Amino acid sequence: MSLLIVGSIALDSVQTPFGSNADALGGSAVFFSYAASLLHPVQVVGVVGDDYPSDALDRLAERGVDMRGVVRVQGESFRWKGKYSYDLQNRETLETRLGVFAEFKPRIPDEFRDADYVFLGNIDPGLQLSVLGQIHLPKLVACDTMNYWIHSKRDAVLELLGRIDVLMVNDAEARELSGDWNIYRAARWILEHGPKIAVIKQGVYGAVLVEENGIFYVPAFPLEQVFDPTGAGDSFAGGFMGHLARTEDLSSANLRAAMVYGAAMGSFAVERFSIQRFQEIGVAELSERVHQFGDLVRFEVEPSLEVK
Amino acid sequence: MSLLIVGSIALDSVQTPFGSNADALGGSAVFFSYAASLLHPVQVVGVVGDDYPSDALDRLAERGVDMRGVVRVQGESFRWKGKYSYDLQNRETLETRLGVFAEFKPRIPDEFRDADYVFLGNIDPGLQLSVLGQIHLPKLVACDTMNYWIHSKRDAVLELLGRIDVLMVNDAEARELSGDWNIYRAARWILEHGPKIAVIKQGVYGAVLVEENGIFYVPAFPLEQVFDPTGAGDSFAGGFMGHLARTEDLSSANLRAAMVYGAAMGSFAVERFSIQRFQEIGVAELSERVHQFGDLVRFEVEPSLEVK
């Protein structure tokens, strides 16, 4: 089963209370690929400028990431500069330089058009639709978006909703999209507009999956040290989709497991700057963390309550 | 095993986007007692003015709540008036009239001094200490407090921490108390100052229990309709303590179950104004909801991860 991500490949400069970095690897396709490639081979479609470090792309290839869909064009790579608040709960964008990303028109290579599992990273919803037009018969399409598109290209976002299986957004985006502040009503609104599954990420609190007939909640992993929240959501998506592509099982039970793999990947992402933590961990650390999620929520109550 | 609550007995006037009420039953002792009495008999120590509706106290007595520690004195009952934001996430206190509560000096009746399980609702920490001086040998003491006391009577709060087993506060209070915005570090700070257990409530997101050797997270119950958040925390405490008093088991496994009973009670509290929902439900509804929490977080992953 092949797993395809279409998204941004960026250079991030991030300031946190604990330090800062400059021109580090970032972008949805990069975080997604670093996370997902721990579980399953990944195909990437994206664009970089002629200034993007070649060894960064080589290292992704070494992880089993098929880079044949990454185009290098003349010009500057997408750069994002941001600053986080002291508690990492809010961030301010200091600078966005789209560079070659401004003209990105994703072309899916022939070899990728049979992709089974597809993740549409947060890009213009019109481009996301054009990607879907190039994929033959995907088994599962998941999609991210952001408030900017929800406001500026609402019609395209709504059209997209009718063509995807999973919408994966954060709570603010779910609220903006549905016009409802209650996230469970927002999720129901999403299900009424196409997707069979809504995944709503709540940052430091966890994430919830809502289907027609069930709700699953996974808390965020308890971390005493969070270093850099950038990329947590795309890493979550990488874990979620990587698990599904690896197991080829779209049952409700396995979607729950995918949520936990997602949450585990999100927790690794925030422990270091950029994708650094993914360079340190392997399958053993991932497996250990996934089981720690089980310890975090496990409880037993009597089958039937007896009160004297 | 006897279960004692010392706290406020109030009349609340609440404005929400869905309506408002006036002089409804409220206060920590009332919410706690309504919740806990579904699980175990409760003893209450508190004060009311001569204007407090007698039938309200009678109804508590009918639920197995021992009201011999409730003193009625001349003057006005404690009244609180508040207004919630459109999303119920913030509230503004419009008016607080302490009335007879201003002179409240809790005196524990002789019959209650052998209490095994004690909950100190949010009152002046000096009074909470005086309560502990009147109890012989409790098995477990849990305590709530608020930012006002953390700032104005920090020494008394710290002395109290050295004498209680469970501190049960919300995330903002844990942060103020510890001076740390990370709730897991804040919990560790709490454990280093006396309590063996920190329970940190996170409102619509859930609650976490931190012990020396373990962390347990229970999400908030997914509700599409939240009506009035007032009393959720005290109802949570009532479920938590009621379960422990009923089961007489302070193992880590049973503390987890207690958290789920707490979360269930908190979810009932917010579904109607005041204590109305507790008048509608019984043991069957409680048991059903507790098991729904199991469905909400249950997942399975392979014992050891195999990646091809």
SS3 A214: strand
**Which chain B residues are closer than 8 Å to A259 by Cβ?**
299
- What pLDDT was estimated at residue A247? 97
Residue A142 φ then ψ, to 5°:
-115, 155
Residue A118 φ then ψ, to 5°:
-125, 130
Is the pTM of the predicted complex or chain greater than 0.95? yes
Which residue is listed with tokens 């997914």?
B222
Number of CB atoms found within 10 A of residue B65's CB:
23
SS3 B297: helix
From the centroid of its chain, how far is CA A45? 15
pLDDT at B308 over 80: no
From the centroid of its chain, how far is CA B177? 18
Residue in chain B nearest A226 by alpha carbon: B182
**Which chain B residues are closer than 8 Å to A283 by Cβ?**
305, 307
Closest CA to B175 of B208, B200, B143, B144: B200
- What pLDDT was estimated at residue A40? 97
> What is the per-residue DSSP string for B82-135?
EEE-TTSS-EEEEEEE-GGGGG------GGGTT-SEEEE-SS-HHHHHHHHHH-
CA angle, B260 then B264 then B269, to 5°: 145
Q: What is the DSSP letter of A205?
A: G
What's the first-to-final CA gap in chain B, in angstroms? 56
Do A185 and B219 lie within an 8 Å CB cutoff?
Answer: no
Number of CB atoms found within 10 A of residue B97's CB:
14
Mean pLDDT of B80-107: 94
pLDDT at A28 over 80: yes
Of A219, A223, A246, the CB nearest to B219: A219
Cα separations (Å) of A244 from A129, A187, A203, B126, B297? 22, 21, 22, 56, 19
Do B287 and A305 lie within an 8 Å CB cutoff?
Answer: yes
SS3 A199: strand
Per-residue model confidence as pLDDT tens digits over B32-43: 999 999 999 999
Per-residue model confidence as pLDDT tens digits over A208-247: 999 999 999 999 999 999 999 999 999 999 999 999 999 9
